[in-house]
Every structure is written in structure tokens, then in C-alpha cells.
Amino acid sequence: MEKQKNIIDRFAVHSIFVLLFIYVILRAVLVFYVNDEIMTKNGYMIDWNFLPFTGYVDANNHFLLSFLGGLFYRIFNSESIWVFRLPSIFAFPLFYYSLAGFGKYLKSKWSTLFLILSICLTSFFLEFFSIARGYGLSFSFMTFALLQTTYYFEEKKTRNIGLALLGWVFAIYSNLSLLPLALFGILILLVFSIRRNQKWGVGFILFSLLPIALAIMYSFHLQKVGKLYLGADSDFYVTTIHSLTELMWHTGSSWIDGALTLVFLAICTQLLFSILNERNPFSSKNIFQTFLIVGVLGVLMQNLIFGIFYPENRAAAYFVFLFFGSLTFIIDQYSWRFLYIPVFGITLFFFVVNFNFTHTKIYYYEHFDEELLSLVPDEVNGTPPATGARFWQLDDELSKRNGYPIRAFQLARSEEDTLLDYIIQLEELRPNIREKYHELHVDSISQLTLFERNKFLPRRKIKEYTLQFDGNNMFYDLTPTLRQSPIFVRCIGSFTNMNIEKTHQIIFSVEDSVTHEVYSYGGVGPLTSAKIAPDKSIKFDFVYTINEFPSSAILKTYIFNPREDTISGNIKTEVYEIIGHTTSRNLYQNEI
């Protein structure tokens, strides 16, 4: 009878895994990229700049994800969206069965199911396993490390130290936010290895400090250059707690603050009494509570000592995991299983509310309807339309996937950006935009809006330049340095002998000829906006808009080839004045 019961319990655990894994896979295939994924794909995976201090220095480089994504890209030789998300997809089984592994230390099978479902049915948490970000990987390896740490304290085997260290190092290299927890986890392993005279364990730990020291150095470097930008410097509740409760329960109420504070104090009290009784804060009964408290204290101390921002939403998501884990072990320990019903009911309700295959909950503001692109015509007053947006890469990536023509989609956040024919922007960032534009389409999820100019500006060609190139220079000038005034610049041509690893762009830079102050800098990258044709070429015809700047400003238009790859092609650059604008022609007749 007992054997049959265990088989039923295992069947329930495996069945839940299958259903959740199908959901994870479907979302990975069906839901379009978020901007950070595109940045990671283009900047770290395809170029394979996965190591610290290589490539563009930014917190967006989740090292292990960048390595694995680049590896799968090379194995499958494909830019399919699921290829770059495979590391996160494959991380889910490790996360799930590590989580289920804690059931060994729970008294009730219902506690095991609650532990699994309370965490896995938290929608925004589960969605990390369907996107190409390092958070899913980090949660998997953190859970694995905690399980191996628990095994070590219960069974005292040296191999569990090695596995726990491996988990912590991989967790850090997937998400630097876990550094404080990992350092604490490694410290307690070191202390107990020394106390138990486990020399191999001490050796493993000392060896693991090398990659961890590199991660710490990189973290401080990111802070120094202003790249630890996620979060805020004040109000732990607003920044960290509210960013999580709004994702989980759609509220940032002060009542929730009070309730969670009371629950946290109860967890602290329970841990204190448990330590007094058992003298072991790292027993299987206490592991989640200990790491939850250390995690909170770590965040507070980081801010106090180093001025590191309080984490928000995705950077603080591990608190959700530790909170529900703590809750499960306390309820199980005191046999308060009646509490499972309301907590699970709330979790299930919000999972159903948030269930979708259209967007990622935590990045809802990045959802990008195809109509935002398809409603833009191919021509306006004899030229391709001049287009503006948030200067993120979602528009370019969707254009590339669905075969739309290359468009500039230059940054259009300023109220002075009124020359553009079409703008894709949040109206709240451009409150006066309806003075010269009207709405064509609103994305119902992100509220991104496609605006069309009420009256298109008439334009007339006044200059034309051609360039044919074949070489590996870093710069190729498309025009002489020109005096700048409000104009449209049209680039028509093609790049030949292309491959996906080339990174050159067409740059439009406006700077002061006296002070060298840069007024405007933007560009169009062919590979981020279009697929390579069978003949290895990329053809383009787009318009870039130059606003009015001081009379001392000059425009430089050129190809920037940062890695000095061999590039070839031909480009015709046309300059269009705005008919009726008095300075356009006069200034552009004076080339420098």
C-alpha cells in the first residue's frame, strides 16, 4: 500500500512537470523577444562575447546565458527565437526537480506539492524559463546549490560541497544579483568543512573563489561606470517589495507591506526558536528561512555600505522563491496545512489571470503589435517614410523577421522631434504629440502608439553623393562634412558579401564645429534590421531626419566598421530640403 502511494505521489510530481514544461516551451516558441534578449543575442551570443570585461560592458551580459546561447546558435546555425532561449528552457527541469528534491525533508506530500505549485504558478517567475535572460538559469542553479547544501548538512558528504559550489558559481555567472547569497552559502560551507576537517571540501571552496572574485570585480566595475542601473537608491518597500507584489498580485498597497512585514517577522521568530532548540540554522527545516533573512539583510547592507541600488522586479525575484519556500517549511513543521488552501487559491487565481501566449508579464511595456509596422506605408512624398521610435531593437527585429523594409526608427522622445512622418512612442512620453500627429494604432498591451503626421512635410532633393567601397577601413564617408539644417537624408544601396557576424552601421552624427559638442548621434545597422539575401547581400532604402541645431553644427554621415571587417557595397546618399524652410538650401550649399 505504501509503495502504491509513493508511485501515485511521484506520478503527480512528474505530471505537473510535464504540463509546466509544455507551457514553458510554448511560450519560448510563441512569445516574441523582449528588448534585452535582442541586445544579448546581437551583442553577446552571436559575437560570443560572454566573458566579463569582453564586448560591451553592461549588466545585460549574463555570462552563462551568453555562452550557452552562442553555443546553441553555432550548433544549430539558426537565428530562430527558440535557439537563443534553449539555455533557459533546459534550466527548467533542473529547477523543478531540485525544488521537488526538498520534498524529502517535508512531512506531508501536500507540502511538496504546495512548494512546487506556489513557486511555479507565480506567472512572472515561471516566464523567466521561456526567455533568453539569465534569471531562469540562476534560479535553477541557486535551487540546486541549496538542495546540495541541505544534503551536505544532513548527510555530511564532501561531494555535496563540490556540487553546491558548482551551483553557486553558475548561479552568479547567470545573474550577478545573487552574489550576496552565494557568498553566504560558500562561507557556511567553508566554516563547516573546516570544523569537520574535510580537506577536499576546503580545497573545492578555495578553488571556487577565483571565478567568484572575478564576478565581484566586474560588479564593482559596473557600479563605477553606472551600469548597475536596475533599481533605486531609496525606499526598499517601494523599489523591491512593491515591484514584486504588483507582478504577483497586481497591487502595491501599504496593507500588503504590513502583512508581508508581519510574516517576515514571524519567519525570523520561528528561525530563532528553531536555532535555540536545534542549534542548527542550516538544517533542512531552516534552510529557506535562513537564506531569506540573509538575502534581505544583504540587500540592505549593500545599499548602506556600497550605495548599490535596492533591486527591483527581475533582480529581486529570488525573494519570491525563498519566501514561498520558507512558508512551506514552517507550515509543514507545525502541521498548519489548512493554510495551503487560501495561499494556493490566490496563486492559482493570479496564474489564470496572467495566463497568455502573447507577452511577458514583467516586460509587458515592450509588447510590439505588428500593426505598428504594417500600417507605415512604403513611400511618403516621393521618399521612404521618416520614422521615429524608442530606439530600442524590437521594431528592427520584428521588421527583420517578417520582411519589412529597413527603416531608421530613430530616437524620437523630444517634443522637438516633429519632422518625422511616423512615430511609434508612448503618448505619456510625448504629451503634446497630438498637436502635429494623430493616432493610427495603439498596442493594447504596451500602449505603444503609432502616430502619423497630420501634414507630411514637402521635400526636394538638393544634393546627391555616391560611394562604392570594398575594404576593411573603420570609416567610409558617405558625404562631405556638411553644414546642418533641418533636412531629410536618404540612403539607397546595398551591402554585399555579408555574414551575420559583421557589425558595421551607417552613422549620422551632428556636432558643433567649434566646441565639438555632440548634439545628435544615431545609426542604422543593416544586420539588425534585415535578413541576408541568398546572394549574401542586404539592400536598403531609408530616410533619416536631421532636426535644426545651432548654425555652428555640422553633419557627418559615414559607415562605421568597428572591427575593421572586410565590407563591400555601394550607397547613394541624397539630401532633401524641406520646401518652405528658409535655411535648408543655403546651409547645404556650403560644404566644408
The pLDDT > 90 percentage for the chain reads 74
Q: What is the pLDDT of residue 561?
A: 96
Nine cell digits for residue 428 = 505619456
Strands 553-560 and 482-483: antiparallel
Which one, of 24, 25, 23, 21, lies nearest residue 13 by Cα?
21
Q: What is the pLDDT of residue 254?
A: 86
Under DSSP, is residue 45 helix (H, G, I), strand (E, B) or coil?
Answer: helix
In this model, does residue 558 exceed pLDDT 70?
yes
Q: Over the stretch 215-258, which tens digit does the pLDDT of each residue have?
A: 999 999 888 888 776 777 788 999 999 999 999 999 888 899 99
CA pseudo-torsion sign 448, 454, 460, 463: negative
Q: How far apart are CA 269 and CA 289, in angstroms?
A: 10
pLDDT higher for 218 or 55? 218
Task: Tell me the backbone φ, ψ of residue 85, rounded to 5 degrees.
Answer: -95, -5
Helix 318-333 to helix 254-278 angle, to the nearest 10 degrees? 60
Q: Over the stretch 382-414, which tens digit does the pLDDT of each residue have?
A: 999 999 998 788 999 999 999 999 999 999 998
Q: How far apart are CA 556 and CA 465, in angstroms?
A: 13
> Quick check: 144 and 98 in contact, CB under 8 A?
yes
Integer angstrom CA distances of residue 334 from 274, 285, 347: 12, 11, 22
Report, as an integer, the average pLDDT of 548-562: 92
Segments making up each domain of the chain, as ranges: 229-335, 368-453, 459-588
> Quick check: 573 and 472 in contact, CB under 8 A?
no
β-sheet bridge partners, residue 574? 464, 490
> Quick check: 91 and 130 in contact, CB under 8 A?
no
**For residue 591, what pLDDT band results from cuts at 50, 70 and 90?**
very low
Report, as an integer, the average pLDDT of 464-473: 97
The pLDDT > 70 percentage for the chain reads 96
**For residue 200, what pLDDT band results from cuts at 50, 70 and 90?**
confident
Q: How far apart are CA 376 and CA 423, in angstroms?
A: 10
According to the CATH classification, is domain 459-588 in 3.10.590? no
Integer angstrom CA distances of residue 258 from 238, 265, 267, 313: 13, 11, 14, 19
**For residue 592, what pLDDT band results from cuts at 50, 70 and 90?**
very low
Q: What is the pLDDT of residue 157?
A: 82
Amino acid at 151: Y
> Quick check: 62 and 39 in contact, CB under 8 A?
no
In this model, does residue 327 exceed pLDDT 90?
yes
Please give the distance of CA 291 from its chain centroid, rounded to a whole number.
25
Q: Over the stretch 343-366, which tens digit does the pLDDT of each residue have?
A: 999 999 999 999 999 999 999 999
Q: What is the pLDDT of residue 587?
A: 43
Spatial strand order of the sheet with 459-471 comes to 459-471, 567-578, 487-496, 538-546
Q: How far apart are CA 104 and CA 525, in angstroms?
A: 53
Q: Over the stretch 518-535, which tens digit does the pLDDT of each residue have?
A: 999 999 998 889 999 999
What is 402-431 written as a DSSP string? HTPPP---EE--STT--S-SEEEEEGGGST
Q: Over the stretch 112-153, which tens digit does the pLDDT of each residue have?
A: 999 999 999 999 999 999 999 999 999 999 999 999 999 998
Q: Over the stretch 62-92, which tens digit does the pLDDT of each residue have?
A: 999 999 999 999 999 999 999 999 999 999 9
